[in-house]
Structure 1
Amino acid sequence: MSLTSTPFFVLTILITICALVALFVFWNRIPGPRPARLGGRLGLALFSQLTAVVAVMVYVNNSMGPFYESWSDLFGGSSAPPVTTAVGGGGQHGHGGGQAGDGKLHFTEYSPGVMKARTVGARSGIDGSVYVWLPPQYRDPAYAQTSFPVVELLPGTPGTPQAWFGTMRVQDEMQKLMAQGKVKPMIMVSAKLNTLGGNTDAGCADIPGTAKTATWLAEDVPALVRSNFRAARGADGWGIMGYSAGAYCAVNLTVQHPETFRAAVSLSGYNTPESPLVTRDPSLARANNPYLLLKQAKQQPPVSFLMAGSLQDQGTVPAARALLGVLHQPGASRLLTVQTGGHTPDVWRGMLPAALTWLSARTASQGTAS
C-alpha cells in the first residue's frame, strides 16, 4: 500500500479509532494483579497516542508535501536496481514503455496537466521520478515549431518533487500570470532531490561513493527533458528555482553549471552546505559553497540570481545579501524580501509571482522556432 495513498490514510484513521475504542472498553477490564492492570492501561494509552500521531503525520505528509513519496523515500534505499541507459536527441515526448536507449520516457498523468515518469540518470545512475507541466501553448499548432524555455524546480529536504505541483501549485500561478501577460510560456519540471531517501541529506553534491546528485539534476534531468520535449537547447533558455535546501541547491548548481542554467531563484535559501556528507570533507564543502566560489572567482560565470527571503526567517535575508554582494556585475540579479512569515510554503507561494516573472524575463526570449 502506497505511503501517500488515500487507502493508507484511511487505514491510519481506522486504526486510531479502534485504539481509542479499545482504550475505553478495556480500561477497567484488564485482568490480573494491580501492576499488570496498570501496565496494560499504560500500553493502551500509549498505543492510542501513537496511532493518532501516525495519522496526523500521514495527513501532513500528504497535504503539505508530500515530504516522502514512498516507503523507500521514508526509510532510505531504492525499490529499483541501478541501471545505465543512453540519453539521446530531442523531440516530442515519448510514449513507449520505460526508457529507451534514445532517452524517450513513458509519461503518465500525475494530476491534471502534470505528467510523471520514472527513470534512471544515464550519468548519475540515480533512480528517480520526473514531473513535467507543459504550458497550454505547447500543444497549440501555432507553437508547433517553438522550443520552450524550462524552469527546473527543487523542493526542500526532506521533500518530494511533486510538492511543487501540490502544496506550491506552481502550475496555477503560471496560468494566472500568463493570462495577465506577465510571463511567457515555460515548461516546469521537478525531479527528485533527496536521492538517498529517508532523512539523509545528499547535499545536492556529487559525493564520491555515495550519490551524484549534482550530475543528476544538472546533466541527466536537462538531457531527458530535451529528449522528450521541445525544450530550449541552450543554457540561456534554462532557469532553476528552489525553496529552503532546494534554494541553496539552485544557486549552487547555477554557479557550478552555467552551461546548463543561467538564472536561479532562491526562496529562503542559504549559502553554505549543511549536509554532514559534504561538510565532513573540507575540499568537498569548499567546492559546494556558492558564496566562496563566486567570491574567489577571478571571472564569474554569466549568471543571475533572484535571492528571496523573509525578514522574520532568521538568516535568509542576510545570506541573500551576502551572495549578491560578491557579484562583480550584478546585472539582472535582485533581492526580494517580505516583511512577515517564517520558513513555510505560505511564504514561498507568496513569492512565486515575482519569481516566475523574473525567470520569464531571463529565459523566455530563448523560446525560438525549432
Structure 2
Amino acid sequence: MGLTSNTVLTLAIVAGVLLFVATVWFWPRLSGRTWRAVSGRVGLLLATQLALFSAVGLAANKSFLFYGSWADLFGQETELGVVVDHSAGAKDIKVVGTQKLDVPGGGRPAVGGQIQKVVVAGEKSKITSPAYVYLPPEYFQPQHAKDDFPAAVVLTGYPGTAENLIKGLDYPMRAYKQAKAGKMKPMVLVMMRPTVAPPRDTECVDIPGGPKTETFFAEDLPKAIGESYRVGSKPQNLGFVGNSTGGYCALKMGIHYPGTFGAVAGLSAYYKAAQDPTTGDLFHGDKALKARANVLASLKAKAPSHTSFLVTSSRTGEGNLADTKKFIAGVKRGDRVSSIILDSGGHNFNTWRREIEPMLIWISGRLQA
C-alpha cells in the first residue's frame, strides 16, 4: 500500500477511532495508581495521539505530496540523478543500467533476457522521464538478430513507481514464462509510471501552459522506442497497457491514436480524468480538452480503425464496473473489445496480478512482430 493511497489513510483514521473508543472503555479499569494502571493509561493516550497525528500527516501528504513513497519518507531514495544531453543528435533513450532476470542462466541476455534502466527524453514535449525496458532472450539470440519484435508500453497507477511493475507486478518474469511456455510472442515491454512531471498527476493530458504529457506518451515515446529498439513502426507492432491511472491513459491512447497503438488494455481503468489537489487545473476552462479526456465520450466519437481494446473489472469490489460495461457496449463494429470481469476483486495489486498473464497472452495475439 502506497504512502498516498486511500487505503493507508483510511486505516489510520479507523485506528484512531478504535483507539479513542478503547481509551474511553478501559479508562475506569485503569484508574488506579499501580504501575500497570498508569502504564496502561499512558500507552492508550500515546497510541491514540500517534494514530491521530498519523492520519493528519497522511491526509496532508496526500493533498500536497511532500513525499511520494515510503522510501522517500524514510530517506531511502538515494539514487543520484542522471544528466541527459538534449543537444542536436542526442539519443531519445539513454541506457543508464541493466539487470538480469532471476532465472537459470539469467546472467546471459540470450538466456534470461535483460531489463535496461533508461532515461527517455521527449523531443516534442521536452519531458524527460526514467523507464525500464524488458528485452526478451530472443532479442539477443543470433537467429533473431534481424527480427523486429512487438512492444507494449506498460504504465503503473498514480503515484506508483516503475519499479512496482518489476517487483510488485512481475511483468518481465510473467512475460518471460508465458513466452517460454509458448503462450505469447516474445515482446519488448517499456515500463513507466504516468507521473512524468512529478509530483503532479497530469492524467496523460497536454495541460495548457503545463506539461505536455499526452504528447510525450503518444508521440515522443513511440518514436524513441522505434529508433532505439528493433520494434516495428505500424500500429499492429505497438500496444499500450496499464492499471488504474495507467489503464485510463492506455484506453485514451487507443482511442485518440489508433495509427500508433493497435491494442490497448486498461486494468481497473477509470474513464475520465481525475480532478483533485494532485492534478491541479488540467484544462483551464478548455471544454474541448476536457471532453477529449473523457474516455466514454471520446469513444462515442471515434471512427472504427481496427483497434483492439481490453478492459477489466470485478462484479464486487471495484467501482468502475458500470462504466466498464458502458465502454464495452460503446465499441463500434470495426474495432474489437474484450474483457476480464472477476467475481470479486479490488483496486489493488492482488487483483491486477490475476489479470496480467491473460492480458499478456491477449495482447500478444493482437500485436505482430
TM-score, with normalisation over the residues of structure 2? 0.71
What secondary structure, in the 3-state scheme, does the structure 2 residue paired with 1:233 have? coil
**Does the C-alpha gap of structure 1 residues 143 and 329 become closer, same or farther in structure 2, counting only changes over 3 Å?**
same
276, 294, 298: which is aligned to 1:293? 298
Q: Tell me the equivalent position of 1:201.
A: 201
1: distance between equivalents of 2:119 and 2:245?
Answer: 23
Distance 1:149 1:157 in 2: 26
Q: In structure 1, give the amino acid aligned to 2:232.
A: A
The answer for the alignment partner of 1:23 in structure 2 is: none
Structure 2 distance, partners of 1:80, 1:229, is 21
Report the Cα distance in structure 1 between the residues aligned to 2:85 and 2:212, rounded to whole angstroms.
Answer: 14
- Specify the SS of the correspondent of 1:219: helix
- What's 1:230 paired with? 230
Cα distance per residue 1:135-179 (max 9 Å; x no partner)? 110001111111000010011011122211110001111122112
C-alpha change, 1:295 and 1:69, in structure 2 (3 Å) is farther
8 Å Cα contact 1:83-1:125 kept in structure 2? no
**Do 2:317 and 2:345's aligned partners in 1 also have CA atoms closer than 8 Å?**
yes
- 2-side partners of 1:358 and 1:85: how far apart? 40
Match of 1:15 in 2: none
Match of 1:20 in 2: none
2:34 matched residue in structure 1: none
Distance of aligned partners of 1:111 and 1:145 in 2 relative to their CA distance in 1, 3 Å threshold:
closer
* 3-state secondary structure, aligned to 2:167: coil
| Residue 302 of structure 1 pairs with residue 332 of structure 2 | no
Q: Give, in angstroms, the shift of residue 131 of structure 1.
A: 0.8
Q: Is 2:90 the counterpart of 1:101?
A: yes
Kindly provide the amino acid, as one letter, of the partner of residue 188 in structure 1: L
- Give ranges in structure 2 of 5+ residues lacking alignment: 1-41, 59-67, 102-113
Range 180-189 or range 287-296, more displaced = 287-296
> What's the offset of the Cα at 1:81?
9.0
Matches within 5 A, 1:139-154: 139-154=140-155
Contact 2:169–2:353 (CA under 8 A) maintained in structure 1: yes
The CA distance in 2 between the partners of 1:239 and 1:316, in whole Å, is 22
Which 5+ residue runs of structure 1 have no aligned equivalent? Answer: 1-40, 58-65, 87-99
Q: 1:235 to 1:210 in 2, by over 3 A?
A: same
For the Cα contact (< 8 Å) 1:85–1:121, is it kept in 2? Answer: no
Cα distance in 1 for partners of 2:324, 2:314 equals 10
Name the counterpart of 2:344: 340
Aligned-pair distance for 1:354? 1.1
Q: Which residue of 2 aligns with 1:183?
A: 184
In structure 2, the residue matched to 1:275 is 275
Q: In terms of mean alpha carbon deviation, does 244-253 or 330-339 score higher? A: 330-339
Identity of aligned residues (%): 26
User: CA separation of 1:270/1:211 partners in 2, compared to 1, >3 Å: closer, same or farther?
Assistant: same
Query: Given the superposition, is the C-alpha separation of residues 53 and 109 from structure 1 closer, same or farther in structure 2, using an over 3 Å criterion?
Result: farther
Report Cα offsets for 1:232-261 as digits up to 9, x if no partner: 221111111100111011000111111211
Residue of structure 2 in register with 1:7 after alignment:
none
Query: Is the alpha carbon distance of 1:81 and 1:138 closer, same or farther for their aligned partners in structure 2, counting shifts above 3 Å?
Result: closer
Structure 1 residues 81-125: Cα deviation after superposition (integer angstroms, max 9, x where no partner): 997455xxxxxxxxxxxxx52435234125643111123211111
1:302 maps to a residue whose letter is: H
Look up the match of 1:120: 121
How far apart, CA to CA, are the structure 1 residues paired with 2:301 and 2:356? 31
Pair 1:218-2:223 in alignment:
no
Secondary structure of 2:344 counterpart: coil
Q: Provide the residue aligned with 1:254 in structure 2.
A: 254
Question: What secondary structure does 2:94 align onto?
Answer: coil
